[in-house]
């Protein structure tokens, strides 16, 4: 249906008639802003065509005025109402970008990549599927940094996650898991939603920060913040050395005990991602979290229609101007 954003502007329609009624012809002539000088040319022109065409300029000018008022009232075409998906969940991602995430023990599309590259690829697909959630992004190394506040704009979150890199927060290889949780609490505690989720991904242990992970986890539990922790990194890796190939554990620094306690305290779960396949399975499992029911919201797609009456008004005005020049020549 058609809707007018500013319908009160239709009150201006009789304005020319009121001016003509209450003001003398001389006063109208003196006010240049309201004067239509070429109409006088049509009115006072002499010749055999003058009497026949005396009224059409006034009719065209009146139509142009009506079209101009319609354009100013901002006509809009409102489409059928569309339901807006709203899950009622706030979901924050906290991703470790410390130096240890540079370890190349993951495989994507047949090539070896580091842990952060695999995380960005798989987490980006996860973000795309979170329609209806407000999603935010925290990056942490020695310090925790809010990269993207909670937003429905999942495309922006995905883009800024892909643009992250090792050491974006600082050059120190330390990890501040507790501070990352504390920052998430700060960004989520003011919301009234019933579902608040933090997905924390790291490959190490807490070696920096002001708040200890378990203390932060207790604060999160007090604020009804559920934390899902993901320990990332392979258990076994073959490296070449002077003494031949050796098997090493690239995840020896991973503090699984603390990550499990964090999840347990907050009602979440701990997951272990040793390769890209396991990491994808974890995100698919997290993707099945039940949304919190909330009142449905609807919006009407809107198309502005004002260019049409405005264009016609300008066209009629141009026709009057051209006609005035022709009358003067005659």
303-313: pLDDT as tens digits: 889 899 999 99
All structural domains of the chain with their residue ranges? 2-79+300-329, 84-286
Q: What is the pLDDT of residues 230-244, one digit of tens each?
A: 999 888 766 666 666
Weakest-pLDDT range from 14-28, 151-165, 269-283: 14-28
Q: What is the DSSP letter of 207?
A: -
Residue 136 scores a pLDDT above 50: yes
Which range has the worst mean pLDDT, 16-20, 67-71, 198-202?
Answer: 16-20
**pLDDT at res. 42:** 46
Specify the pLDDT at position 82: 65
Which bin fits 284, alpha (ψ -120 to 50), beta or left (φ > 0)?
alpha
pLDDT digits (tens, 9 = 90+) for 157-189: 999 999 999 888 776 678 899 999 999 999 887
Does 84-286 carry CATH code 3.40.50.410? yes
> Residue 112 pairs with which residues in a beta bridge?
107
pLDDT band of 39, cuts 50, 70, 90: very low
Q: 78 vs 164, which has greater pLDDT?
A: 164
Where b means 16+ CB within 10 Å and e means fewer, 231-254 reads bbbbeeeeeeeeeeeeeeebbeeb
Q: Measure the CA–CA gap between 38 and 54, rounded to whole angstroms.
A: 12
């Amino acid at each position: 249906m058609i809707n007018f954003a500013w319908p009160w502007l239709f009150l201006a329609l009789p304005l020319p008639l009121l001016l003509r009624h209450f003001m003398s012809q001389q006063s109208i002539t003196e006010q240049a802003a309201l004067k239509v000088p070429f109409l006088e040319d049509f009115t006072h022109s002499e010749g055999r065509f003058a009497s026949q065409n005396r009224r059409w300029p006034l009719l065209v000018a009146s139509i142009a005025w009506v079209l101009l008022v319609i354009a100013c009232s901002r006509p809009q075409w409102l489409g059928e109402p569309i339901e807006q998906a709203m899950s009622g969940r706030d979901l924050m991602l906290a991703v470790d970008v410390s130096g240890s995430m540079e370890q190349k023990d993951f495989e994507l599309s047949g090539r070896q990549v580091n842990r952060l590259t695999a995380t960005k690829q798989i987490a980006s697909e996860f973000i795309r599927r979170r329609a209806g959630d407000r999603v935010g992004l925290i990056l942490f190394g020695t310090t925790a940094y809010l990269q993207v506040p909670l937003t429905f704009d999942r495309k922006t979150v995905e883009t800024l996650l892909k643009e992250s890199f090792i050491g974006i927060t600082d050059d120190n290889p330390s990890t501040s898991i507790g501070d990352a949780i504390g920052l998430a609490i700060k960004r989520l505690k003011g919301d009234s939603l019933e579902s608040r989720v933090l997905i924390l991904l790291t490959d190490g242990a807490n070696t920096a920060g002001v708040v200890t992970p378990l203390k932060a986890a207790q604060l999160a539990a007090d604020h009804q913040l559920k934390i899902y922790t993901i320990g990332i990194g392979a258990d076994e890796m073959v490296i070449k050395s002077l003494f031949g190939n050796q098997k090493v554990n690239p995840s020896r620094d991973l503090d699984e005990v603390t990550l499990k306690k964090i999840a347990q305290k907050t009602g979440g779960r701990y997951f272990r991602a040793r390769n890209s396949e396991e990491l994808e399975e974890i995100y698919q499992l997290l993707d099945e979290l039940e949304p919190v029911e909330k009142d449905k919201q609807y919006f009407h797609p809107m198309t502005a229609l004002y260019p049409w009456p405005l264009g016609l008004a300008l066209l009629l005005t141009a026709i009057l101007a051209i006609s005035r020049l022709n009358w003067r020549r005659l």
